[in-house]
A and B are shown apart, each in its own frame.
Chain A
């Protein structure tokens, strides 16, 4: 049992980060904090992929001498790392778009608090 928890500690860490991110998005009223939650959520996914590719006693996947027979076990799997480069770019773009939307929202409603924002929007409907 303890083996199971300790052996997968990286994945438990990822799980905790995922939950923190979801908590931020669902519970927090400040819209900027929701974006922070979103970023934590995305970082957790990135760490999940990176954690899945690590190996003990393996090295960077660069062939020193390509005449040798390739031993896959001696190298870290490079594919998740390259995938996560793309995912990082997507995450940056998402944060950029979300902050642009928040700037527009703030200019129009002068608040970034969700409850306050909803109140002002419904007041506007009533008028």
Chain B
């Protein structure tokens, strides 16, 4: 059982995803408990995998006992162990939240499909991270994306249009990636990632290989929502149900980032992506533009979920920028930001969901200081997460930006350092806009509502415990992980660096 643990997280999700519709035929409530059980089991196994990878080095798991270049291989190393642990933990916390939020936002006959699709999505996500095979990655990419399209379409009235737009762009991205795999196969004659790495080591770069890398960068860039390829993201995040936004914002784009890190840094190698074609430079420049663009667009939004969506484009930019710097500090900063941004965005989307459930909207101009009294815990969680997004020291956001800034100094990219610093300022602008509305009485209202100041407004109490608990767990995690960052970097991320940085 335990020797099979590298393959377990994706398989648990896949089997639960198939089993949920069967079980829910009779007992409707069972689908939630099955999903919760699957996420907790997968979280357990991915933490177990991570400790295995840290103590014993990387493990190659062979499906059906076939030897790697012929059979499909799963690779468990500190990098894949770390990212699966992050996404499974966040998925576990969000699934607790989903219980009540799904019950209120989605019609009853769609509950079972919701949990089944979430399981399939997570199966795809875990598969992409664990697999050591190019084509297997494509299949998991499509499993994850197809279930995500369905999940987005469970949202409000406009959600099917948003999901359709994502479907067109996502499938083109998957197609480009598959074409890239085809060219790689033509050059090397292998689909196994480790095998391709060894074959490429002895080959001089040829035009088909350059085409393959370009196509893969575009394809995975669409999945990651790098700046000019981000068009699907704002609508999809805004119109999806709260639980879906909270599960796909931390996981969906990070998988693209992970796949780029894995394929370009570990398989093609640093020399190919910096000297043969400027893939790393292009990635870092586009990400830098994306950071500024996302932050400015976020300031212009009047709806919290849409603001968070644009902020996601900026935050994914940090990851891309860190990867594109091709320096140890930049790479560590990018990996740490995968964890940090996952926690921060999940927490913020949960709070936005709380607002939607209690107030019926999440528009910034209609928030007022009564929130401070009626929903103190949600407001506090929002504030902590917003401070983390800005990068205030004891929270996580500071540390990943710190490593990214060190990376830019190390490689003497002063412009990128300026981008990181300015974007923190822009983050402060658009988050303080919300915090100000939540905590400070506005000029107009003070006079009118002075008399009723101490009376909490009726029907606007704090959300129920099962919604509040995941929000607070994530808010707490932001501070705890912030204090643990040195340990995480030293014990996990230092071992996850690719060769040749």
Q: Which residues of A contact B (CB under 8 A)?
A: 22, 25, 31, 34, 38, 41-42, 45, 48-49, 52, 79-80, 83, 86-87, 90, 93-94, 97-98, 100-102, 104-105, 108-109, 117, 121, 124
- Chain A residues, Cβ within 8 Å of B149: 97-98, 101
Which 6 pairs show the lowest CB-CB distances between chains A and B?
Answer: A104-B160, A101-B164, A105-B160, A90-B142, A101-B160, A98-B167
Contact across chains for A101 and B142 when beta carbons are under 8 A apart: no
Cα of A115 to Cα of B172 in the assembled complex, Å: 22
Contact across chains for A94 and B167 when beta carbons are under 8 A apart: yes
Cα of A59 to Cα of B142 in the assembled complex, Å: 32
- Chain B residues, Cβ within 8 Å of A109: 161
Contact across chains for B186 and A52 when beta carbons are under 8 A apart: yes
Give chain B's interface secondary structure class. Answer: helix
Contact across chains for B135 and A93 when beta carbons are under 8 A apart: no
B163 in contact (CB, < 8 A): yes
Cα of A101 to Cα of B148 in the assembled complex, Å: 12
- Chain A residues, Cβ within 8 Å of B163: 101
Shortest beta-carbon distance from B322 to chain A in Å = 31
Cα of A34 to Cα of B161 in the assembled complex, Å: 13
Cα of A102 to Cα of B161 in the assembled complex, Å: 8
Cα of A45 to Cα of B394 in the assembled complex, Å: 49
Query: Contact flags (1/0) for B133-164 with A, using CB distance below 8 Å?
Result: 00100110010001001100100011011011
Contact across chains for B146 and A102 when beta carbons are under 8 A apart: no
Contact across chains for A117 and B161 when beta carbons are under 8 A apart: yes
Residue of A22, A48, A121 touching B182 (CB-CB under 8 A): A48
Residue of B146, B150, B161, B172 touching A25 (CB-CB under 8 A): B172
Shortest beta-carbon distance from A121 to chain B in Å = 6
The chain A residue with its CB closest to the CB of B190 is: A79
The chain B residue with its CB closest to the CB of A105 is: B160
B376 in contact (CB, < 8 A): no
B168 in contact (CB, < 8 A): yes
- Given contacts A48-B179, A105-B160, could you give 11 more A-B pairs where the C-beta distance is less than 8 Å? A25-B168, A25-B172, A48-B182, A83-B191, A86-B139, A87-B178, A90-B146, A98-B149, A101-B149, A101-B153, A117-B161
The chain A residue with its CB closest to the CB of B139 is: A86
Cα of A100 to Cα of B167 in the assembled complex, Å: 12
Shortest beta-carbon distance from B170 to chain A in Å = 9
Contact across chains for B179 and A45 when beta carbons are under 8 A apart: yes
- Chain B residues, Cβ within 8 Å of A49: 182
Query: Contact flags (1/0) for B168-182 with A, using CB distance below 8 Å?
Result: 100110110011001
The chain B residue with its CB closest to the CB of A31 is: B164
Shortest beta-carbon distance from B432 to chain A in Å = 27
Residue of A31, A38, A79 touching B171 (CB-CB under 8 A): A38
* A-B contacts, 22 listed (Cβ < 8 Å): A25-B168, A38-B168, A45-B182, A48-B179, A52-B186, A80-B182, A83-B135, A87-B178, A90-B142, A90-B146, A93-B146, A94-B142, A94-B171, A97-B146, A97-B149, A98-B167, A98-B168, A100-B150, A101-B149, A101-B163, A102-B160, A117-B161
- Chain B residues, Cβ within 8 Å of A31: 164
**Beyond A45-B182, A108-B160, is A38–B146 a contact (Cβ under 8 Å)?**
no
B44 in contact (CB, < 8 A): no
Contact across chains for B178 and A80 when beta carbons are under 8 A apart: no
Cα of A121 to Cα of B171 in the assembled complex, Å: 24
**Beyond A90-B139, A97-B149, is A42–B164 a contact (Cβ under 8 Å)?**
no
The chain A residue with its CB closest to the CB of B176 is: A45
Contact across chains for B171 and A42 when beta carbons are under 8 A apart: yes
Contact across chains for B164 and A98 when beta carbons are under 8 A apart: yes
The chain A residue with its CB closest to the CB of B147 is: A97
- Chain B residues, Cβ within 8 Å of A121: 158, 161
